Amino acid sequence: MVRKLLLFFLVVLVLANILLVVTGKGWMYKAVYITYLKGYDSSYIDDFVHFPSNEIAAGKHQEWKIAKDYNLKALPKKLIDLNSDLETVAFLVIKNDSIKSEYYWQGYSSDTMSNSFSMAKSYIGALIGVAKKEGVIKSLDQSVCDFIPEFCENNKEQITIKHLLNMQSGLDWDESYHNPLSQMAAAYYGRSLKKLIVNLDLASVPGKKFEYHSSSTQILGYILEKATGVSVNEYASEKLWKPIGSKHAALWSTDKKNGDEKTFCCINSNARDFARLGKLYMQKGRWDDAQLIDSNYVVESVYLENLAPYSYHFWITERKGNHVFYARGLWGQYVISIPEKDMIIVRLGKNYGKILENKHRDDLYVYIDAALEMYP
């Protein structure tokens, strides 16, 4: 009887394995290994070590200035409690171009690399601005069809770059972070990103409805690659990472060795270097004497009225009379910019707060309030 049961379970296991391979879901083995066998039930900020990547090379480093009152202000109790509850690993406040507060936990430091998750989307938004300034993208109203032939059929030619930037593609996509069978899981753990993306179907008319889809950013990555003639990591290095003085090279996770960058996520870097994107946008695309992104594009992205909650791959909100825009990643990765206060806040960590009706998360406002309380 025992032998028959063992044989039955063996047959079931073999058939299940065959089914996964035949249906193109063999990547689930990798997902199980990286998550469940490591004690997690989803992705995590240190999981980049399990993925291949392409380097975003750094150039000449520009040090952040350190304020005279560096770390002299105590963190508010509400922030301390939240940092403990949500396992914050980095909290950085920069005001008037100087680091005012900088704290790390759980063995992290200013040089520790961790996963940006969807903060990478804001870098793609910036790179689209660079490409437009350079003329390799003529207009944000260009059809995706101009760059990706597979989008020239089944009405997908209606989708424009602007639709993608504003998450209004109308594509059929499952943005589920806990469903192991979702398209999101296939994109994150799989080895065939391009095949997954070009086979997407249109579910609704583009430009009509905001739906946060990582597929939109991945398509923008392929548009950048086609328009510029170089890989996205190379373009990011030469046009952003080096000019803004990043200290360390970053790693952009890929779907396989020498494969496609997962442009919807996964720039792996540190708090101080992540903060530079916030500074670039607060300076309206200018860094030192170079206008890296046209100022009009930056204004259209984050400074105009009625952009909330999302515009050109940045999140937009207000807090206590201050205009706020920010990059956001899974599990509460944030680069927050408050132009009126000349302030940048970076928070990196292992968990996040609850989503609110306005589509922002409640922990965001705790980080903002704490920084404003410390440095009004």
CB-count burial class (<10 Å; 0-12, 13-18, 19+) for 212: middle
CATH number at residue 238: 3.40.710.10
Handedness of CA 112, 176, 311, 159 (dihedral sign): positive
- The CA–CA distances, whole Å, from 126 to 221, 267, 317, 349, 359 equal 12, 14, 19, 24, 22
- For residue 286, the enclosing domain spans 47-374
pLDDT in tens, 264-303: 999 999 999 999 999 999 999 999 999 999 999 999 999 9
Average pLDDT, the chain: 93
- Give the model's pLDDT for residue 31: 83
Q: Which pLDDT value is given to residue 361?
A: 98
Q: What is the pLDDT of residue 56?
A: 98
How does pLDDT run across 200-247, given as a tens digit for each residue? 999 999 999 999 999 999 999 999 999 999 999 999 999 999 999 999
43 touches 188 (CB < 8 A): yes
What is the average pLDDT across 336-348?
98
Return the H-helix or E-strand segment holding 174: none
Quick check: 60 pLDDT over 70? yes
Domain co-membership, 122 together with 15 = no
**Closest alpha carbon to 281 in 224, 328, 327:** 327
Backbone phi and psi for residue 283, each to the nearest 5 degrees, phi listed first = -95, 15
In this structure, the answer to whether residues 75 and 93 fall within a common structural domain is: yes
The arithmetic mean of pLDDT across residues 240-262, rounded, is 97
Interatomic CA distance for residues 266 and 28, integer angstroms:
19
Tell whether 34 and 121 lie within a shared domain.
no
Look at residue 227 in the predicted model and tell me its pLDDT: 98
Indicate whether 332 and 352 sit together in one domain.
yes
Give residue 1's pLDDT band: very low, low, confident or very high (50, 70, 90): low
Q: Is the pLDDT assigned to residue 21 strictly greater than 70?
A: no
Note whether 348 and 333 are within 8 A (CB).
yes
Confidence band for 8, pLDDT divided at 50, 70 and 90: very low
Average pLDDT, integer, range 355-360: 97
Verify that 130 and 274 share a domain, yes or no: yes
* Judgement on whether residues 232 and 315 belong to the same structural domain of the protein: yes
Quote the distance between the C-alpha of residue 228 and its chain's center.
21
Round to whole Å and give the CA distance between 137 and 121: 18
pLDDT > 90: percent of the chain: 86
Residue 174 and residue 267 in one domain: yes
Q: Provide the pLDDT for residue 19.
A: 43
Structure tokens at 180: 């192991």
Does residue 172 share a domain with residue 208?
A: yes
Distances in Å between the Cα of 70 and the Cα atoms of 93, 95, 102, 133, 245 are: 10, 11, 8, 37, 21
In this prediction, residue 3 carries a pLDDT of 55
Asked if 122 and 327 count as a contact pair (C-beta separation under 8 A), the reply is yes
What pLDDT score does 25 carry? 64
Quick one: 24 and 82 in the same domain?
Answer: no
Three-class SS string for 273-307?
HHHHHHHHHHCCCEECCEECCCHHHHHHHHHCCCC
Do 15 and 91 lie in a common domain? no
Average the pLDDT over 9-15 and give the result: 42
pLDDT of residue 91 exceeding 60, the answer is: yes
Q: Based on the fold, state whether residues 260 and 220 are members of the same structural domain.
A: yes
Residue 312 and residue 219 share a domain = yes
* Tens of pLDDT, residues 181-192: 899 999 999 999
Would you state the pLDDT for residue 29? 77
Give the full edge-to-edge strand order of the sheet including 322-329: 65-66, 98-104, 88-95, 343-349, 333-338, 322-329, 314-319, 310-311
Which helix (DSSP H) or strand (DSSP E) does residue 318 occupy? strand 314-319
The single-letter code of the amino acid at 273 is: D
Helix and strand element counts for the chain (H, E):
12, 14
Q: How many CB atoms lie within 10 A of CB 258?
A: 8
Average pLDDT (34-38) is 85
Q: Is 75's pLDDT higher than 90?
A: yes
Total domains in the chain come to 2
Is residue 100's pLDDT more than 80?
yes
Average pLDDT over residues 141-153: 97
Question: How much of the chain, in percent, has pLDDT values that exceed 70?
Answer: 93
Q: Would the pLDDT of 4 be above 70? A: no
